[in-house]
Chains A and B, each alone.
Chain A
Amino acid sequence: MAKATYILGISCYYHDSAACIVKDGLLLAAAEEERFTRQKHDNSFPINAVKFCLAKAGITAKELDYVVFYEKPLVKFERILHTFAKTFPKSFWYFYKAIPSWVNEKLRVEKVIRKKIKYKGQVLFVPHHLSHAASCFLVSPFKESAIITCDGVGEWNTTTIGYGKDNSIRLHKEINFPDSLGLLYSTFTAYLGFEVNNDEYKVMGLAAYGKPNCYEQFRQLIDIKDDGSFKLDIKYFSYEHKEKMFSKELIKLFGEPRKKDERVTARHENIASTLQKITEEAMIKMANHAYKLFKSDNLCLAGGVALNCVANGKILRETQFKNLFIQPAAGDSGGAIGAAFYAYNAILGKKRTYVMDDAYLGTEFSNAEVEEFLRKNNVKYEMFDDAELVRRVAGLIWKNKVVGWFQGRMEFGPRALGSRSILANPCNPRMKDILNKKVKHREEFRPFAPAVIAEEAENYFAMNYESPFMLQTFDVLKDKQKILPSITHVDGTARVQTVSAKQNKLFYSLIKEFKKLSEVPVIINTSFNVRGEPIVNTPKDVYDCFRNTGIDYLAVGNCLVRK
């Protein structure tokens, strides 16, 4: 029997470090480092995620054939040095802060990899946007597809258009730093008093409340051409030489920025709304241009901007593409997957055999492990078989209880998709407030998302295809908005996750059971964490979160714990 080929993919040092392992073209495991270290968006070397991946594959680092890093460190460093020189002497403090980490670790990434995981084989480096492109196309169900990647910045590229066929990918067009749609979005995330690289989705949620009436001001910041290419007027931005994203010029144009805990006003809502509209305009024009170039029915999207589910929803509706694929970890963590698959399929020239149908690639704990933890900590629990567990949990949700749901393998990517979730009743108009008060403590303007049985989705939402990774928004059908008040956003949309039995049998059965009680095949599905913390990973994380919040019940494995 031929020896299996093992490839380890790594992404780190910017945000959301992650690792994955591919065996003969099949993705065995993938996880973000933050879940292990409990530091949200942890950017350090993902040693815990690597150890988990190796353990899941049942191998040691010696048995790896390749380790693949998701970008070219020297090219990125060249861009950083170039920018420092360009903005001399304003860039001094930025330089002073950045250089030690580059000299000590980032430039020596090959040595760091070898030392930390005790690996002696070959290390490969795949450019950042090629990793993004590979992370969606090579695991998509498409034989050929147009590809758009768009994020803050990689080495030099911020946006690319490419084309993939079989196991090959070519990036044809590019836009380079400092012109960046991702950094434009992050700049306004900072301007609106939120945290960069963390709260962009809050701005997206806020956008629905406002009117896009700042268009003229935005036109001074960004010039968008008919083909979706764009250029920023850099005088309004300071991210080239400072950690602060915007300049005094931007304040002159838009007024004083919002402070962190300041009240959100209509002005902030209108700015968010216009920003969202500008982003959608650029993305839709870009998609139209990609269609014109490649005449493909299929589109793959990747990069941090591909997590903008409102724009994603519109791309398919407002362009000629018939099919859209976005991988659940579309941001930098997914770069690990792209790097590994690019090495296997494109560099080694192996056929594609894997389609990413679900995101359940992380850690898992057996009932025995869960019981051992509960017993050690003197936690009272009841044990049920799967059928009885879903019947009981559905009943609790219907009685407006908030239930923590910790089952099977953890999801890869920022969304909880029914493995590490907090579940609640979407029919209760007060449930958003209850969830916020008891657990999430989120801003009032942020919506909660629904999980719906795949075959019934079109009866509740304006959609005719599946959305298993919660990466697109759809209109809630007018007559269903009153039935589902807690998941309907102010603009009548919802960020839908469709659930099929093939992807997650237990979660599917739970929603089916809930339907028997409520006549609605939908439940609220929000991530199992509290504000500012990563999604839970172990039974201990789960129990800590359960104990310190107002969650009423906890279904962890087949054990049901009552508060």
Chain B
Amino acid sequence: MNSFFKSAKLIFKRVHKFISAIINFVLIIPMYFIGAGLSRLFYKAPEEEPNPVSYWKDSKLSYKKQDFERLF
């Protein structure tokens, strides 16, 4: 009985993995080509000063308490 459940669990895991891979593939391809492709069309590289004196940028980090409550 125990080995039956083990085999069933293994088969379920493999089927789950296979279906996930198909879903990922079907979703990810359009997501990439539409999302990243369109973004690339409108992407403009930031203008950079040729040979600047320094590459340091001023930090714009916020230190308000509510900013630490967010994921961004």
Contact = CB atoms under 8 A, between A and B. Distances in A.
Do A and B pair up? The answer is: yes
Given A84-B36, A85-B43, A88-B39, A73 B71 contact: yes
Contacts of B72: 72, 74-75, 78
Contact of A89 (B24, B37, B54, B68): B37
A107 B71 CA distance: 9
Interface stretch (A14-22, A222-230, A351-359, A555-563): A222-230
A170 B71 contact: no
B71 A85 contact: no
A224 to B, nearest CB: 9
Contacts of B6: none
A100 interface: yes
Interface stretch (A172-180, A466-474, A525-533, A536-544): A172-180
A125 B57 contact: no
A91 B37 CA distance: 11
B24 A85 contact: no
A117 interface: no
Contact of A170 (B36, B45, B57, B63): B63
Contacts, number: 95
Nearest to B57: A174
A57 B56 CA distance: 42
Contacts of A347: 65, 68
A175 B57 CA distance: 6
Interface string B38-69: 01100101000000011111110101010011
A302 to B, nearest CB: 16
Nearest to A84: B36
A100 B24 contact: yes
A85 B61 contact: no
Contacts of A107: 71
A234 to B, nearest CB: 11
B32 A96 contact: yes
A230 B56 CA distance: 8
Given A161-B56, A171-B59, A346-B63, A95 B36 contact: yes
B54 A227 contact: yes
A251 interface: no
Contact of B71 (A74, A91, A229, A343): A74
A110 interface: yes
B55 A230 contact: yes
Nearest to A74: B72
A427 interface: no
B65 to A, nearest CB: 6
Interface residues of A, number: 47
B8 to A, nearest CB: 24
A335 to B, nearest CB: 14
A161 B40 CA distance: 32
B22 interface: no
B28 A96 contact: yes
B43 to A, nearest CB: 6
Given A84-B36, A347-B65, A347-B68, A173 B59 contact: yes
A72 B63 contact: no
B71 A175 contact: no
Given A99-B31, A125-B68, A225 B54 contact: yes
Contact of B53 (A95, A173, A225): A225
Contacts of B20: 100
Q: Which residue among A78, A88, A173, A175 has the maximum number of chain B CB atoms within 10 Å of its CB?
A: A88
A344 B72 CA distance: 20
A546 to B, nearest CB: 33
A126 interface: yes
A215 interface: no
A511 B71 CA distance: 48
A312 B30 CA distance: 47
Contacts of A174: 56-59
A197 B35 CA distance: 30
B29 to A, nearest CB: 8
Contacts of A231: 55
A235 to B, nearest CB: 13
Contacts of A225: 53-55
Interface string A31-54: 000000000000000000000000
A328 interface: no
Interface string A148-187: 0000000000001110000000111111100100000000
Contacts of B61: 127, 130, 171
A99 B23 CA distance: 12
A129 to B, nearest CB: 9
A124 B69 contact: yes
Given A74-B72, A124-B68, A88 B36 contact: yes
26 contacts: A72-B70, A74-B72, A84-B32, A86-B43, A86-B45, A88-B36, A88-B37, A89-B33, A89-B37, A95-B32, A96-B25, A96-B28, A99-B24, A99-B31, A110-B71, A160-B59, A170-B63, A171-B61, A173-B57, A174-B59, A223-B55, A225-B54, A227-B54, A227-B56, A231-B55, A343-B68
The 9 closest A-B CB pairs, nearest first, are: A85-B39, A229-B55, A74-B72, A88-B40, A173-B56, A74-B71, A229-B56, A171-B59, A88-B36
